């Protein structure tokens, strides 16, 4: 395994490393938080969330003591909400099982909720200097180009091979520089060795890159095509009471977007009209009978593995409807339009809230 690229890579990182708020610290709590937030999320998006989060929860004890509702509201808009729930659970583990201190090695870190091999390696190498590798999408792209690996990176055997490469290379990293090396690989993939149009002319390790020598850098990494993203029509009810309040429900923790609040409703079944779907979903979720009124708005939104069109209808409880009760939710609440801002919602519902509040403001 040719490791000649390590020295120029580290030299480049020493000169060109981006000035990021989690870079000038060895505080394992801050490094852990940054690594969780950076999963599936761009650096520019993470920075303001990271800074606000630390203002609210400056220590792991503060995070462990937070309520889930508070935490999800703080996380609102960052997406992938299971990260926030896992972060909360892990903080409680750290306080109760580790005396408020993060474990200092990668193996032990993986005992914490939401920390897998990659995240454990990042925290252990950056915060504690442990010589353990990382392998994320950026590093995979660098390795497949650097060594011209022509295997499908979505295959388990290829992933195993890439981890073996990473484990061998970390042994050649100068003592005490494992964290810098891992960050350098990730930064190179993010800023230079990009998915499309890599900036090979600016790459500090271009002379060591076999894909570049073979003029196949734009063909690496090889990935099998994902199946087409499914689309679903989903309904939700803006259920008004006589006081001008709206009924909102809290999703179960084990559901998609668990712990977030929403306008109740659900996915259309084959052969259903939108109105029939909404009436059925509200009956199943809350045990209520509603009069489905006019369509308020439609929202298109993409999640990681599927897309939805959310159809929001104005609704009222029928005179003979039982009061709401949680059949398939954690809780429900009647709130004013202005109070909706106090609750954590998904992005799709947030579009509806913004429109409701803008209309209310115009009526004042």
Residue 35 falls in the annotated catalytic set: yes
Which residues neighbour 281 within 8 Å (Cβ) at sequence distance 6 or greater?
235, 264, 265, 266
**Three-state secondary structure call for residue 171:** coil
As a residue count, the chain comes to 364
In terms of DSSP bridges, do strands 231-240 and 307-317 run parallel, antiparallel, or are they unpaired? Answer: parallel
**Cβ count near 72 (within 10 Å):** 23
The helix (H) or strand (E) run that includes residue 134 is: none
Q: Greatest CA separation found in the chain?
A: 77
Half-sphere exposure of 320 (CA within 13 A, CB side): 0
- Find out whether 211 and 40 touch, Cβ atoms under 8 Å: no
CA torsion angle 213 218 219 222 (round to 10)? 110
Pick the closest to residue 89 from 107, 55, 66 (CA basis).
66
Which one-letter DSSP state was computed for residue 222?
Answer: B
Instruction: Residue 265: name the closest of 232, 307, 303 by CA.
Output: 232
- Residue with tokens 């299971």, as numbered in its chain: 82
Residues annotated catalytic, as ranges: 35
């Amino acid at each position: 395994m040719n490791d000649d690229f390590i020295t120029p890579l580290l030299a480049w990182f020493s000169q060109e490393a981006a000035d990021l708020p989690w870079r000038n610290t060895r505080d394992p709590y801050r490094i852990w938080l940054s690594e969780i937030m950076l999963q599936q999320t761009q650096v520019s998006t993470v920075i303001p969330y990271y800074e606000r989060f630390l203002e609210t929860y400056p220590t792991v004890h503060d995070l462990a003591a937070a309520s889930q509702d508070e935490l999800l509201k703080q996380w609102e808009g960052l997406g992938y909400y299971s990260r926030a729930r896992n972060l909360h659970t892990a903080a409680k583990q750290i306080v109760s099982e580790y005396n408020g201190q993060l474990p200092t090695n990668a193996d032990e870190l993986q005992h914490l909720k939401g920390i897998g091999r990659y995240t454990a390696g990042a925290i252990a190498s950056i915060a504690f200097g442990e010589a353990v590798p990382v392998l994320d999408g950026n590093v995979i792209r660098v390795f497949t180009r650097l060594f011209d690996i022509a295997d499908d990176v979505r295959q388990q055997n290829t992933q195993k091979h890439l981890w073996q490469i990473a484990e061998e290379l970390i042994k050649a990293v100068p003592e005490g520089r494992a964290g810098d090396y891992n960050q350098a690989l990730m930064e190179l993939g993010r800023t230079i060795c990009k998915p499309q149009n890599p900036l090979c002319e600016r790459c500090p390790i271009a002379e060591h890159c076999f894909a570049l020598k073979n003029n196949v850098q734009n063909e690496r990494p090889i990935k099998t095509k994902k199946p087409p993203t499914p689309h679903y029509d989903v309904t939700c009810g803006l259920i008004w009471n006589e006081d001008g309040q709206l009924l909102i429900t809290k999703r179960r923790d084990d559901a998609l977007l668990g712990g977030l609040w929403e306008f109740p409703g659900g996915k259309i079944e084959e052969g259903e009209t939108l109105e029939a779907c909404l009436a059925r979903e509200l009956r199943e979720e809350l045990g209520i009978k509603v009069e489905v009124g006019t369509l308020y708005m439609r929202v298109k939104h993409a999640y990681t593995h599927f897309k939805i069109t959310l159809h929001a209808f104005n609704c009222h409880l029928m005179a003979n409807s039982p009061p709401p009760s949680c059949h398939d939710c954690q809780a429900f609440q009647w709130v004013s339009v202005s109070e909706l801002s106090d609750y954590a919602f998904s992005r799709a519902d947030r579009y509806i809230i913004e429109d409701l509040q803008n209309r209310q403001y115009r009526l004042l």
